[in-house]
Amino acid sequence: MARKLFGTDGIRGTANTEPMTAETALHVAMAAARRFRRGEHRHLVVIGKDTRLSGYMLEPALTAGFISMGMDVTLLGPMPTPAVAMLTRSLRADLGVMLSASHNPYQDNGIKLFGPDGYKLSDPVEAEIEAMVGQGDGLSSPDKLGRARRLDDAPGRYIEFVKQTFPRGLRLDGLKIVVDCAHGAAYRVAPTVLWELGATVVPLAVQPDGLNINRKCGAVHPQLMCEQVVAHGADFGLALDGDADRVMISDERGRMLDGDQVMALVANSWRRARKLKGRGVVATVMSNLGLELYLKGKGIKLVRTPVGDRYVVEKMREERFNVGGEQSGHIILSDYATTGDGLIAALQVLAVIVEAEKPASEAGRLFTALPQVLRNVRYGQSRPLDDAEVKRAIADGERKLGETGRVLIRKSGTEPVIRVMAEGEDDRLVAGVVDQIVAAIEAAARRQAA
């Protein structure tokens, strides 16, 4: 059965428009409850959210759905996605739910589901839940309804958990760190963690109003963070996205260290410390060829997956690796977390810098990325990738780049966008190939819409 609700990262859409309505959230909760009720114990679901205005609408709808099925609900309030995953396991809950559309603007929202092990649900399990949506059976009797409560110390639990991932004996004393929280879920916990580890903290985007999440800030717009690193003479900068499961990092010069550089840094550090499991790293098809070549030189293999941190995690579990992630800043370190955690990833980079006693510009940049160009093309309801002219443009680009480069075309799983990426040794050639393919896609979309 083709899935209509679930995409590459849960359910996502414009708030108060299907599927992001209170009614659908209610039915999704009821279906998930049916799938995860097991045994005779008192069932529990943990619900967290980011700072979007629509969270006030969707959170009570989910709560009502779970309670109607006899499940107790623990409400965390605004908390990072990885905190929900962690607390699902810590509280021995049957299910975890995160309300967030990650890096998308405030108009959107999403529902991410975690199993009792703290991992995102697999495609087959999501398909089971989707098939149950709208089925009215299984409601609890009045005396078996669930109850709801708020976990007031949720931020403190997560803060202590994250601090424990920083190596013992190391401190951030003497470092000035800019942290951009994107007016999102980590606006309280991220600055606190860095402060308690000894850093001087310059907080940015920590005044959410329900409408400003990710607006010209955070991991999607890291320029603000980079500018403030230079302006404040800081040693390091990090920019989280709306739900804090991804991070973009800046050195003291305001230059970016993307997810590929972070994976290289952590993998090499853990290799030297004999902590790297499987002598490999899992990344997606979007990661730069420069990363692959660097890791190969260190005797570390790179395994690629489709785009989506869930697929990275699945391959990590299959291969028993403990380092993986995406160029976009989703870094999964399975020794500590079951999903991407931007704050934990940043702390591991900081640990390498502190131990090296070198600035981030020296300690944090391990390879030179091959020229890579990525452009997004919105396509509406058309099917431009089926167009013969588009196929010819893609084939021509692949021929021009030859064996020293590659072309990657894919549809986004979260929005009506086609992502066109190319990389190779010649930056002008790469840019020209992308321009040619984008022009062909745009022309095809116009023809099909006419």
**CATH homologous superfamily of 6-152:** Alpha-D-Glucose-1,6-Bisphosphate, subunit A, domain 3 (3.40.120.10)
Vertex 39: Cα angle to 35 and 41 (nearest 5) = 110
**What is the mean predicted confidence (pLDDT) over 254-265?**
96
CB atoms under 10 Å from CB of 285, counted, come to 14
The distance of Cα 57 from the centroid of its chain, to the nearest Å, equals 23
Question: CATH assignment of 372-449?
Answer: 3.30.310.50
- CATH architecture of the domain 257-344+351-363 equals 3-Layer(aba) Sandwich (3.40)
pLDDT of residue 234: 98
Those residues whose C-beta lies under 8 Å from the C-beta of residue 349, and which sit 6 or more positions away, are: 249, 257, 262, 265, 266, 360, 364
Those residues whose C-beta lies under 8 Å from the C-beta of residue 144, and which sit 6 or more positions away, are: 70
Residue range(s) occupied by CATH 3.30.310.50 in the chain = 372-449
Q: Which residues are catalytic?
A: 102
Does the pLDDT of residue 146 top 90, yes or no?
Answer: yes
pLDDT of residue 1: 45
> What are the pLDDT digits (tens) for 290-346?
999 899 999 999 999 998 888 999 999 999 999 999 999 999 999 999 999 999 999
Q: Strands across the sheet with 331-333, in order? A: 301-305, 280-284, 323-325, 331-333
> What are the pLDDT digits (tens) for 190-240?
999 999 999 999 999 999 999 999 999 999 999 999 999 999 999 999 999
Going by pLDDT thresholds of 50, 70 and 90, the confidence category of residue 147 is very high
CB atoms under 10 Å from CB of 291, counted, come to 24
Structure tokens at 42: 């008192």
pTM of the model: 0.88
Residue range(s) occupied by CATH 3.40.120.10 in the chain = 6-152, 157-253, 257-344+351-363
Report in angstroms the alpha-carbon separations of 44 from 79, 426, 438. 18, 55, 48
**CATH homologous superfamily of 157-253:** Alpha-D-Glucose-1,6-Bisphosphate, subunit A, domain 3 (3.40.120.10)
